[in-house]
Structure formats: structure tokens, C-alpha cells
Structure 1
Amino acid sequence: MTPHLFCLVSQRDDLSLLPALADAGVDGFQVRDKSLATAALVALTRAVVAAVRPAGAVVVVNDRLDVALAAGADGVHLGADDLAVADARRLAPGLVIGATCRSRAEVVTAAGAGADYAGFGPVFASASKAGLPLPLGVPAVADAAGSLPLVAIGGITAATAGEVRAAGAQGVAVIGAIWRQPDPVGAAKELVAAVA
């Protein structure tokens, strides 16, 4: 099952809020922290799994199949420069595998390689990651929908999440829309309502 709302998590975030976020209805968490050494990333992933799995949330690890396997996560999210989706599927047939995609053609390719969902974006401008391409826009979501469940990412807010879902995204992934808000749990509840 592809989550309706992925919250990206790093060591900089307030991990004590994770159980409350999961209880509020955040049904997916992606551990993404490129600054951590492998052992620390495994420890962070284990902490996230322990915090949110009781609520039934899915945990995937960005880029690192080895960390996902070592930490007992549910899956891995792979970018264009990471391990190939087909290789990850062969090595870990039971894991959820997501693939970063920026066009319908890339979504179709990811589906053929064995991905379970496509992380699609950036849909809107985002300040959470440097070096992103120009925003794709909501029409690109509609164009790419159909081959794989899409998880839209990039500048998504509670105000735009419903529009993205209506365009064909199965779910959305956020960072700032939760972690940069004065009340992250309240913000998560608004997002959960918007993607319902």
C-alpha cells in the first residue's frame, strides 16, 4: 500500500514527535539524511521504525537499500543515481521500492523495473533540497498518473495537497509543511485531511 502522506525525517527533526505524527494519520515516513555515516543512519532508521510502526506507518530509507535491510525498514526510495530499481527488486523482493521520477516516461520505466510507487516532482518550488529542476506543475502529475501510484513531492502544502491528489497522485511527501510549522502535529492533521 502506498502511503497517502509521507513525512521525510532527518536527525535534525524532533523525533519525539514521531509517534504523535503517526497517530495523527501520517502513514509513511522516509528517512533521508545524507550527512550521516552508515551506522548513524541505521540507528536513526531503527528509531523511526520503533516510533511509528505501532501506528502501522510505513518506513522507507532514501537511497540506501543496505540501511533499509539492516534497520528492518519497510522499503527504500531510489533516485536516478542510486542502485537500479531492478537490482533492488532482485536483492529485496519483499521490500517496498520507490523511484524518483520527473516524467511519464520515467514512471513507465520504473514500473517496468519493479518499483511499487514513483516519487514525482518537484511539483512546486521547494527550499528543502538544493539543485532541484524547475517545478513540474500539477498538469505533469495528471500526465504521469496511471502506470504506478504517484507520491507527489516538492513544495506541497495543506492548501495544495488536495489539488495534487485530484490530479492523480496517490499521495504526497512533505518536509517543510510539517517540520517548519509552529505546530508540526497540527500541520500534519491538516495535511491528512487534505489528502483523505
Structure 2
Amino acid sequence: MLPRLFCLVGPADDLSVLPGLARLGIRGFQVRAKHWSTPVSDRQALELVRRVVAAVRPHGAVVVVDDRVDLALAGAADGVHLGALDLPVAEARRIAPGLLLGATCRDRDEVCRAAADGADYAGLGPVFDTVSKPGLPPALGLAAITAAAGPLPLLAIGGLDAPRARQAREAGAHGVAVIGALWRPPDPLQAARELLDAVA
């Protein structure tokens, strides 16, 4: 079952919070293994993947790795999420048939292609403007979720707090992936409770 809420995790985030987030009910964690503000080696990235897996898997959560099939396999993660410049979805499915496989998409045509190539879900976004990742294309808006829904479960991403996460679900998203909505508030656990309520 694809989680309805994914928490993106990078090397600057407080990993001590992860078990608490998983105990509350967050069942998806995505390790950002590329595009970090401070360059890290592959060995450091692999260690981060392993630390996240060790922190959340005992509580029933799954871990996907952003962009890197090799790190997902080496770190015993559950899946990989691929962007437009990463390994093609069909190739990732061929070499890692057992991984949960997500693909970044911006419209229904891209979602259909990802489904045909073997993806399990599509990450659609940015739905709203966000400051968590620079250089993103223009925000799609909620209508894009409704237009793209159907071929694959959609995880909306980009500028989502709890009220917007609820709107994304109502528009047809299976769930959401968040960065700032969890890591910027002073109490990530309370933010997690609000997000979990919003996507339930």
C-alpha cells in the first residue's frame, strides 16, 4: 500500500525525530540523495540512507531514495523516486524489479508514460510555489491533479501544508510529499499530526 504521506529527508535534517514521525503514522520517507546544498560523497549518502531505513522501518514505514537506484539497492531501501534527468523508469524497473518505483511528472501524458514504463506511482508538482528546492518550473495548481489522476496513484508535492494537503487529496491525489511543512515548524511531530489528519 503506497503511503499517503511522504516526508523528504536530507543530511541537514534532525534524524532523531524520524522514529517519532514513524510512530505517529508517517509511513513514507524519501531520502534526498542529490541536489543537496552541501556536496556529499556517495559513501555519505549511502550512510544516510541506511540511517533513515534503520530509524523508520521498525515502525512499519517504507524508504525511497531520490534519483539513485544504486543507493536504494545498496542501502536496502524499499524504492526509488526518479526525476526527468535520472535513469529512465523502464531501465530502473528492469534492473530493480522489486523496488517501489516513482516518477516525477507534470501532466497526464507523463503519468501515462510512467505507468507504461513500470512506475508504481507518480509525483506531481510543484503544485504550489515552494522555497524548499530552487529552480523548479511554475506551480501547476490543484486542477493539474484532477487532470492527471487515474493512470497511477499521485503524490502531490510543492508548497503543501496541512490545509493544502487536504485540498490535494480532494482534487484526486493519493497523498502528498512534504519538506518544509514538517521541517520548518518548531514542532515537527505536531505538524505531522496535522498532515496525517489532512490526508487520511
What's the counterpart of residue 30 of structure 2?
30
The separation in 1 between residues aligned to 2:141 and 2:173, in whole angstroms, is 12
What's the counterpart of residue 21 of structure 2?
21
> How many angstroms does 1:33 deviate by?
3.7
> How many angstroms does 1:24 deviate by?
1.1
Deviations 1:90-128 (A, max 9, x none): 001010000000111000000000000000000000000
Among residues 112, 118, 121, which one is paired with 1:117 in the alignment?
Answer: 121
The separation in 2 between residues aligned to 1:186 and 1:15, in whole angstroms, is 16
The separation in 1 between residues aligned to 2:88 and 2:15, in whole angstroms, is 30
Partner of 1:155: helix, strand, or coil?
Answer: coil
Among residues 108, 111, 134, which one is paired with 1:130 in the alignment?
Answer: 134
What's the counterpart of residue 103 of structure 1?
107
- If the length of structure 2 is used for normalisation, what is the TM-score? 0.97
The separation in 1 between residues aligned to 2:63 and 2:28, in whole angstroms, is 6
Q: For residues 7-86 of structure 1, what are the structure 2 equivalents within 5 Å?
A: 7-34=7-34, 35-86=39-90
What's the counterpart of residue 3 of structure 2?
3
Q: Say whether the 8 Å CA contact 2:33–2:65 is kept in structure 1.
A: no
Among residues 151, 159, 183, which one is paired with 1:147 in the alignment?
Answer: 151
The separation in 2 between residues aligned to 1:52 and 1:36, in whole angstroms, is 22
Q: Say whether the 8 Å CA contact 1:31–1:61 is kept in structure 2.
A: yes
How many residues end up aligned between the 2 structures? 196
The separation in 1 between residues aligned to 2:89 and 2:108, in whole angstroms, is 16
Stretch deviating more after TM superposition (111-120 or 28-37): 28-37
Q: Quick one: which amino acid aligns to residue 131 of structure 1?
A: G
> How many angstroms does 1:159 deviate by?
1.2
> How many angstroms does 1:19 deviate by?
0.1
- If the length of structure 1 is used for normalisation, what is the TM-score? 0.99
> How many angstroms does 1:55 deviate by?
1.1
Give the aligned CA root-mean-square deviation in angstroms.
Answer: 0.6
Structure 2 runs not aligned, ≥5 long: none
Q: Quick one: which amino acid aligns to residue 27 of structure 1?
A: R
Q: Say whether the 8 Å CA contact 1:9–1:33 is kept in structure 2.
A: no
Q: Quick one: which amino acid aligns to residue 44 of structure 1?
A: L
Structure 1 runs not aligned, ≥5 long: none
Partner of 2:198: helix, strand, or coil?
Answer: helix
Q: Quick one: which amino acid aligns to residue 14 of structure 2?
A: D
